[in-house]
Homo-oligomer: A and B are copies of this chain.
Amino acid sequence: MKKLLLQLDGSTRPSVFDRVVAFDGGADEVMSYGGVTPDSVRDLVHGAIFTRGPKDLRHTAIFIGGTDMAAGERLLAAVQQAFFGPMRVSVMLDANGSNTTAVAAVAKIGQAIGPLAGRRVVVTAGSGPVGTRAAGLLAKAGAEVTVTSRRAGDGALAARIRERFGGAVGELPLAGAARAAEVLDGAEVLLNAGPAGVCLVERGAWADRQGLRVVGDVNAVPPVGIEGVEATDDGATRHGAAAFGALAIGKLKMKIHKACVARLFDRNDLVLDAETIAGVADELGV
């Protein structure tokens, strides 16, 4: 019986990236749908759950992608509402790769620094999809997390992350890359989760800073997000800190993404979102 992955993508054209990784993760066939909205989910999901018998449902699974994580979350909710008691299949949410990227970044940090409990961590661009998830996973692991964004300050962003993940999360505004030092007070870890091609932390703000032990950056497109980190850095020492660049994080992200696709077909009731994807990464020993 073929392992079938139903790809639900909010973008007009379903992601080629996600299709390729789906195949490489072990799906035999990918049924791709673009322009998927919450109200169109039910029929698609029913087609997936009412075709194979209960004992065979683990051979069908759903992947929710797209470029918009908020839209992806709405699709995930609609998918779960469309399930019918035991008639359900495993589902993974990874819009824009945000979950697997955040999990990979957090795993790299953990490799470098050991247990995260009590560590002071700053996540720049913590309002984006990778940032909120990375911050949440770090907080859930016991770190004291500060997220920054241009508009942070009223506490709404930090509250939103705490509500989902628990733990200790605060927020600070970051006015510009040159003023990044202001948010790094006491930080042991700096993770940039900002968009491609935007430098959020100038070299002078973090280089050889006392107490700073790890820097990570998910932006591979020059200029990178943390000046002085190379995209290929995979633990190299840069200005006194262990540095992880976007390509090293991305390589681990791919491994996690593929492993998650494979897991979807182990059973029919998995829901792979940030926390459970982190669990898969733990099991991989990454």
Contacts and interface: CB of A to CB of B under 8 A. Distances in A.
B17 A4 contact: no
A245 to B, nearest CB: 15
A23 B4 contact: yes
B20 A40 contact: no
A210 to B, nearest CB: 37
A6 B30 CA distance: 13
Interface of A: 1-2, 4, 6, 13, 15-21, 23-24, 29-33, 40, 43-48, 50-52, 60, 254
Contacts of A17: 46-47, 50-51
Given A19-B31, A31-B19, A51-B254, A40 B24 contact: no
A51 B254 CA distance: 8
18 contacts: A2-B23, A2-B24, A6-B16, A16-B44, A16-B46, A16-B48, A17-B46, A17-B50, A18-B47, A19-B31, A20-B31, A20-B48, A20-B51, A20-B52, A20-B60, A21-B51, A24-B51, A29-B29
A78 B36 CA distance: 27
Contacts of A32: 31
Task: Please state the number of chain copies in the assembly.
Answer: 3
A31 B51 contact: no
A13 B33 contact: yes
A103 B45 CA distance: 25
A47 to B, nearest CB: 3
A196 B60 CA distance: 25
A44 B2 contact: no
Contacts of A20: 4, 31, 47-48, 51-52, 60
B16 A31 contact: yes
Closest 10 CB pairs of A and B: A16-B47, A17-B47, A20-B51, A2-B23, A16-B44, A19-B31, A16-B48, A17-B51, A21-B51, A15-B47
Contacts of A31: 16, 19-20, 32
A32 B30 CA distance: 12
Contacts of A44: 13, 16
Contacts of A4: 19-20, 23
